Amino acid sequence: MFPLRRNRRLRTNESIRALVRETYLTPNDFLVPLFVVEGQGIKEEIPSMPNYYRLSLDMLKKEIVELWNMELKAVLLFVKVPDNLKDNKGTEALNPEGLMQRAIKTIKEFCPEMLVMTDVALDPYSSYGHDGIVQNGKIVNDDTAEVLAEMGLSHAQAGADVLAPSDMMDGRILSLREALEDEGFFDTGIMSYSAKYASSFYGPFRDALDSAPVDMQEVPKDKKTYQMDFANRFEAIRETEMDIDEGADIVMVKPGLAYLDILREIKNEVDVPVAVYQVSGEYAMLKAAAEKGWLDHDAVMLEQLIAFKRAGADIIASYFAKDVVRLLS
């Protein structure tokens, strides 16, 4: 082929590189995770997530305005629950006046077009820090799926547009979908965390919400009996196909960077939109290296985010959403 083909011709300068570039990022690619806390006037930085904050409802409003003005039109809500409201069954998760339900209403009342997605899992509400109910040292599946369906329904009743179950119980998409249909919530979407791995990259998130599994006898110290083994690939396809069959509108791969192979494979297999979650540990890694002056923050951020899109992501949940939109404009 050489010298008839010289691939470097198309790399000669930025103009021609731009002309042949295959992948772009826009604000529409992003889903912005937000952490909500009780209180007033609170905007507290999360120690292991520099420049990322927990917000009280009044500060959440300000954040929503800022996001909307940046054309970031979709958020994914998480709440930090006070210890005295936690129990094994996650009772507080069903409180129609709970923090999550109030956060949804707050956003929907004053910015109805903002797409509100909510995390559906028990861990922030669980006294044991598990995504499900613990019985005899095990995380029970079917009872958990029932509670999660009620939890999702209560988010839908508060006005959530899309529910995002992140727990990895079997059958939870079906029980949630049935609960929504029974109550007439035909338009409520489900974005399933379908291929969610038992990952050590979630550490900073668990700091943010104080939701790590507790260190107690009789309680599993990790989430390996429900989240997937990171050595597995075919299992990710099986999980994802099942979630689609059970009624998921969007599927997700999580974490992101260490799972680009899975992301591409799922994108090739399925015909629903595929999301990826660039998780808290991925954010923390880059922030830490950039703080030390070891990596160029913006350049590496862009390279990582483009990699998700190139690997097939239709939606990217990322703590860098604001940073990257600022960089692009």
The answer to the question of residue 280 lying near ligand PBG (CB under 6 A) is yes
Q: How far is the CB of 256 from ligand PBG (least distance, A)?
A: 10
Q: Is 103 in the site for ligand PBG (CB under 6 A)?
A: no
Dist. CA 72–CA 8, nearest whole Å: 36
In the complex, what is the shortest distance from the CB of residue 123 to ligand PBG, in angstroms, rounded to a whole number? Answer: 5
Q: Is residue 131 at the binding interface for ligand PBG, with CB under 6 A as the rule? A: yes
CA distance 10 to 14: 9
User: Considering only 11-19, 99-107, 202-210, 268-276, which stretch makes contact with ligand PBG by CB under 6 A?
Assistant: 202-210
The CB-of-3 to ligand PBG minimum distance in angstroms stands at 49
Candidate segments 20-28, 86-94, 178-186, 199-207, binder of ligand PBG by CB under 6 A = 199-207
Contacts of 297 (CB under 8 A, 6+ apart): 286, 287, 290
Distance between CA 133 and CA 117 in Å, rounded? Answer: 23
Smallest CA-to-CA distance from 329 within 113, 25, 23 is with 25
How far is residue 214 CA from its own chain's centroid? 22
Interacting span for ligand PBG (CB under 6 A) from 63-71, 115-123, 133-141, 169-177: 115-123
Q: Could you give the 3-state DSSP secondary structure of residue 215?
A: coil
Please indicate whether residue 196 is annotated as part of the active site: yes
Backbone dihedral region for residue 247 (phi beyond 0: left; psi -120 to 50: alpha; all else: beta): left
- Is 66 annotated in a binding site? The answer is no
Q: Is 123 in the site for ligand PBG (CB under 6 A)?
A: yes
Residue 293 · residue 215 · CB < 8 Å: no
Catalytic annotation, pick one of 86, 223, 254, 287: 254
Kindly list the residues in this chain that would bind ligand PBG in the complex (CB under 6 A): 119, 121, 123, 131, 166-167, 202, 205-206, 223, 279-280
Query: Which of the residues are catalytic?
Result: 196, 254
Binding residues for Mg(2+): 239
